[in-house]
Chains A and B, each alone.
Chain A
Amino acid sequence: MQRRKFIGNSISALAGFSLFPCLGKAHRMDALKDVVIGHNSHQYKIDLNWGTLDSNIYPVNDCHEMVQDSKGRILLLTNHVKNNIIVYDKSGKLLEVWGTEFPGAHGLTLNVENEEDVLYIADNSRHEVIKTTIEGKTLKVISFPKSPSHYQRAEQFIPTETAITPNGDIYIADGYGEQYISHFNAAGKLINIFGGKGKGDQYFENAHGICYDDRDKNNPCLLVTARERNELKRFSLDGKLLEIISLPGAYICRPVIHGDHVYLATIWSRRKKENSGFISILDKNNKLISAPGGNVPIYNDGVLSPMYQALEIFKHPHDVCIDDEENLYVAQWNSGRSYPIKLVRV
């Protein structure tokens, strides 16, 4: 018998299938088992119904990134200019959409400034980072760093992500451009540029994601992904390389801190084979403890064995958002224009 496979863009068809799996084969009740993915403390079931919308009315292209705002709403950033931002509640109900001016919508970072949520959208077609209110009103546009030794033209700057520190400093990762991390102060003045292209440890190949890591309150730092190298790099706030966290096999997109853990959508494994993604979760010591959709993480003498997709659940996870109930939302790039997938913590 040809059993039907789960593929991201046919969730609704599959939901129907899953509702009545034992009609006509009631003797196989024991076969009805929920998929549980992940390892150790971080394991999840996969909610099939979450967030699917009518694609004629609310279309998505790539679902690039997601955040939860202070009201508990879940915001999705897509590069479809009919509705760049889609706002859901945690149950997956559509609340509102906005945004038609972000053709290269890629990075979405939420920051609370003067008790108001604001968003930083890295747009890699516009070569800009746009700061907006949570309702979508543009507050500020940041274009390429005015440092002639690093950038001569706006087009060289292809930002993928931003990180904001508590004092309002902005770090922008130029993940699809010159690979620099540009550091601006809250007033918009360029303070420092580090990273860039090169073979050494302090350089990047696809500096795709960045976040502010204050898990150690006394020593806040930056986490930056070097996706093509399967590495997460820890930098001081003034741009000195502190540590390299190697995740062999895992093409990690952006680090997301939640509690003591780092969550990373992993877009490919298996040497960039198509549809080979999974999710990586690191503990407070930056050790991989759970890989939903991936193989069992194993360390030998402190070195992680290569990671790879083990179950064909995700195609190309591009970001993961963790809500206040520890559930995950996975946004995917190039995955049949499918809506995000919710993982419910078990």
Chain B
Amino acid sequence: MGKIKKYWSCIYCFLILVLYGCDALSTQMNSSSPSVYLQQEAVSLSAPIIKAESIFFDNQLEVSINMNIPGVKIYYTVNGENPSENSTLYKSPIILEKSNLIKTIAFHPGYITSEVAQKEFKKLGASKSIAKVEMTRVPHRNYPGIGELGLINRLKGTTNFKTDQWMGFDGGDLEVVIEFVEEIELSEVTGSFLSDPASWIFLPKCISVFHGSNKNKLVKLGTVSIDRTKESDTRVFRYGSLNFDENRGKYLKVIIENHDEIPYWHPGKGTNPWLFIDEILFE
């Protein structure tokens, strides 16, 4: 009888081992209260971090991807496709020679694969010399940025609107006139804005571009509308780009038209949307 009991208790132990795993069992025996440790297969890797000196560059740019935990493998694409284990394995910094969207993901044999991280890098033409930047309004006193020249210094703000690169406007439109040292040819103008509805910051409605040699008789080259801030946006940059046939001129005017009201889904609906801009770019 005793032998049979022993036999069954052995089977019972074995079953527990199978069900709980050795680690969990030893924990239960050693600890004063039953504890269960978090398992790797329930934990995600954080997304890799894409780093470069600037989002904009003239000739080439070195981009590194960081995610340092033992056993991790980082894969990336530069063509906009979602990365997978079939994409390029990241080993050393990437050298970009043209505008690219980098997407990257981290894999590990134990942990859940990370979310995709992405960052867009823009190659600009050779530096254009700028004589003067004028704005029709001054930014809100709490968010002055570093003044007009901050719009063309090619330093992007982080997604934290409190940093120096961002200028904030409490509703309303904005008009910016850039005077070049001499006449130049332009084919693209881009505005860079922040979308951070949790901080009551929204994207503008559209931007219109004027260019020409006579400051008072600029030619309208077009208007591009910008997708409205989404409820799901959490601190993201958005660009509004207008492409046009090469045009020659000394003055560039950009009118940024704001929405009249914060959209219906936001607690601030019906009030002025904040506009945050950090750069105006041109090629």
Contacts and interface: CB of A to CB of B under 8 A. Distances in A.
A214 to B, nearest CB: 32
B1 interface: no
Interface residues of B, number: 36
Interface string A19-39: 111110010010111110000
Nearest to A249: B49
Contact of B36 (A18, A31, A33, A274): A18
Contacts of B70: 296
A63 to B, nearest CB: 18
Nearest to A308: B49
Given A311-B44, A311-B46, A32 B36 contact: no
Contacts of A310: 45-46, 67-69, 72
A91 B46 contact: no
A261 interface: no
Interface string B37-58: 1111111111001000000000
Interface size class of A (residues with CB under 8 A): 35 or more
B42 A5 contact: yes
B117 to A, nearest CB: 10
A18 B35 contact: no
Given A91-B33, A308-B66, A310-B68, A35 B38 contact: yes
Interface string A40-77: 00000111111000000000000000000000000000
A313 B36 CA distance: 15
Given A14-B42, A21-B41, A33-B110, A296 B69 contact: yes
A32 B24 CA distance: 9
Interface of A: 3-6, 14-15, 17-23, 26, 29, 31-35, 45-50, 91-93, 270-272, 274, 276, 295-296, 298, 306, 308-313, 342, 344
Interface of B: 18-21, 23-24, 31-46, 49, 66-70, 72, 110-112, 158-160, 234
Given A3-B41, A18-B38, A34-B38, 6 more contacts: A29-B21, A49-B33, A295-B67, A296-B68, A296-B69, A312-B46
26 contacts: A3-B112, A5-B112, A6-B42, A6-B44, A14-B38, A18-B36, A19-B19, A20-B19, A22-B19, A31-B40, A33-B110, A45-B37, A45-B38, A48-B37, A91-B31, A91-B32, A271-B160, A272-B160, A276-B46, A295-B66, A309-B46, A310-B67, A310-B69, A312-B44, A313-B38, A342-B35
